[in-house]
Structure 1
């Protein structure tokens, strides 16, 4: 009698790229941002299928979002809007009674990247725009999973080290 082989299939993480208010100069930049988010979830071994919204906006849109969400009237590079209140290392789970519009996936939230700011930072830091878009997407994915670099110097070190490990695992290098 043969014993059936059970293979664990990797969870399906869907990254929805929404219509953007700031066109991307190169279409592969959205693809690399999606890859970075998926890589973050794989690196952290997120077990259940998820869905994340990804949006690219201009400086005026990110400034308005930053002002309304965080009370900061300034342009920023990326904003995260978590749908769940997670702690670092916690597995996302479906909330009882939550509306299921995600075909069974757990809605983690939204990532909003400012295109102009990302391009300026790539130039400032001396690396490619692809690397910067991936860095910002991985950074924001960690925020959706409960990580926060603004709580303490130790949390900041941990989060930025994780981002570098995620990008290295995804082969997105400087």
Structure 2
């Protein structure tokens, strides 16, 4: 498993984010029964930068808390059958490591701090929540319909509960 972290902000996080987010990412993979070693990139940014990314990739000219860029086009959430086709290996797996390239997570630390204050919990809990949410997107989940949203919320809360990450 490879998790690459990049902090593009001057914001200091007051917790060991690499260790805790690795646990969140692994818990999400375990919960979704990912049968492969995998690669994920996590980037911390600010509101201006995430707004630019959101405008470029989603044509929404607003800052947001987290963006997910999944690399796998699943037929259904966490349905890894598409990866069993040898023709897909070159598209979805890193040629040197053989790891499944799940995708990228981009988090606005600035927005996460505001939301943590608004919801009355720690920045650590908020960033863990955003990471769990984003990991589910990397596994093909979405929240466009109420039924999908409810299922996704249940799954992301389960990831956090299993790790003892509760609202503080």
Q: TM-score range by the shorter chain?
A: 0.7 to 0.9
Q: 1:89 and 2:82 equivalent?
A: no
Q: Is the 8 A contact 2:66 2:106 kept in 1?
A: yes
Count of matched residue positions in the alignment of Structure 1 and Structure 2: 161
Q: TM-score, normalised by structure 1?
A: 0.85
> What secondary structure, in the 3-state scheme, does the structure 2 residue paired with 1:54 have?
strand
Q: TM-score, normalised by structure 2?
A: 0.88
Gaps of 5+ in 1: 1-12
How far off its partner does 1:93 sit?
Answer: 2.7
With over 3 angstroms needed to count, the CA separation of the structure-2 counterparts of 1:102 and 1:78, relative to structure 1, is farther
Q: CA RMSD in A?
A: 1.8
After the TM superposition, which parts of structure 1 deviate over 6 Å for at least 4 consecutive aligned residues?
none
Q: Is the 8 A contact 1:48 1:93 kept in 2?
A: no
Structure with max Cα Rg:
1
How far off its partner does 1:90 sit?
Answer: 0.8
With over 3 angstroms needed to count, the CA separation of the structure-2 counterparts of 1:117 and 1:101, relative to structure 1, is farther
Q: 1:135 and 2:129 equivalent?
A: yes
Whole-angstrom CA distance in 1 between matches of 2:27 and 2:35: 13
The aligned runs of 1:1-174 (5 Å cut-off) are: 13-86=1-74, 87-91=76-80, 93=83, 95-98=88-91, 100-101=94-95, 103-150=97-144, 152-174=145-167
> What secondary structure, in the 3-state scheme, does the structure 2 residue paired with 1:131 have?
helix
Gaps of 5+ in 2: none
Whole-angstrom CA distance in 2 between matches of 1:118 and 1:162: 20
